[in-house]
Amino acid sequence: MPGRCAARALQHPRFVRYFALAFCFSALAFVGCMHSARGDDDSAGGHQSTKRDIPDYDGLGRPDAKADNVGAWLARILLSPLWFTTQYGLREPAGAVTKPAEKRDLAARVYHFFAFGPNHSIGIIPWNDVARDFVTLGASVRPWEDLEPVRGHEIFGYYQLDHFDPEQCMNEYPNVAWSRMTERDAAWMARILARFTPEMIHALAEMGDFSDPAQTAYIEHVMDGRLSRVLERWLGRLSPIGELRIDGDELCGVDMAEMHGLRAPGAFRYSARVNGAPLSIARAPRGRVCAALRRSPEQYVRVEIEDGFAKAKLVAHVYDLGDRGFELAGVERPTP
């Protein structure tokens, strides 16, 4: 019976109203006491303070908000569960950890501890992946999570073609040249690798001397497929035309993409220009292409060649030496 009476009293509108008013008055009185005490402390120690006054940046003459203002404490009391959780469950512990770490520069120390090489650009911990897992709470799927050896070819481990991405491929051992590789470096290496023919790859596979011919066929297939993906990626931006030379009155070269058969010969559409004027193009098997040069009153000309496959063109710098013919001075591969 007494419990029911107490419950009805707590549910009465007047009780709720009076309780709310009493709570507000108590909160204001508490804040007032705190504010006056803080003011006394400030006045008592004012002559010892070396801090300058905060300038009136906005020019409105309003006092800046402080942590002990009445409005701030009133909001904290009204939102006490949330404020206590954020203040003492998150901010205070985080501040206790981050402030000493910042003073001692622990973040830089940790990074330099796990990094090495020139300018500490090589690391043994993938910080990008760590940050991505932290943001996504580990929801992102890594390529190695569903990676398994190919059935029947387990002797090669994870060396396969399906999961190979030339742009995401990483060296197993730290290598400065690999980690600092640029688009031009990779394109230069791709023009060299394009000289590998199917017969060469078959010979490499035969060097394994496998007792099972199926293993030889598998490793040949994987090497040839990986090579094609590397060339497809790194020969498709900068011009793949190489081995340039002057042959009489022609500027000749070899398109490594066509030579390796990345596309059908009809997919390559060549064009050449000198100062905007088109030049005639002659094609030969295995990607050989020649642009007919014309005599020019200018001793120096820039020959631009495009193959319709790569995004960028090739620029050849040629000197017209009159009776001594033409001379190739240099080659430029502008970015697309």
| pLDDT band, very low/low/confident/very high, at 45 (cuts 50, 70, 90) | very low
Q: Which domains, ranges and CATH numbers included, belong to the chain?
A: 146-234 (no CATH), 241-332 (2.60.40)
Among 239, 236, 262, 220, CA closest to 314: 239
Structure confidence at residue 53 (pLDDT): 67
User: Averaged over 155-172, what is the pLDDT?
Assistant: 85
Convert 229-268 to b/e letters by CB count within 10 Å (16 or more is b).
ebbebbbbbbbbbbebebeeebbbbbbbbbbbebeeeeeb
Structure confidence at residue 158 (pLDDT): 86
In three-state secondary structure terms, 164 is coil
Distance CA 274, CA 283 (A): 18
Task: Please tell me which residue, 51 or 150, carries the higher pLDDT value.
Answer: 150
Largest CA distance in the chain: 123
Inform me whether the pLDDT recorded for 73 exceeds 50: yes
Structure confidence at residue 97 (pLDDT): 74
In the predicted model, what is the mean pLDDT of the chain? 78
Task: Please tell me which residue, 186 or 101, carries the higher pLDDT value.
Answer: 186
Inform me whether the pLDDT recorded for 1 exceeds 50: no
Task: Please tell me which residue, 209 or 179, carries the higher pLDDT value.
Answer: 209
CB 148, CB 96: distance < 8 Å: no
Structure confidence at residue 180 (pLDDT): 85
In the chain, helix, strand, coil percent, each to 5? 50, 15, 35
Q: What 8-state DSSP symbol labels residue 18?
A: H
Q: Say whether pTM exceeds 0.85.
A: no
Q: Hey, which bits of 165-299 come out as E strands?
A: 241-247, 250-255, 271-274, 277-279, 281-284, 288-292
Lowest-confidence range among 46-50, 135-139, 177-181? 46-50
pLDDT digits (tens, 9 = 90+) for 104-123: 666 666 666 666 555 555 56
Structure confidence at residue 179 (pLDDT): 81
Distance CA 232, CA 236 (A): 6
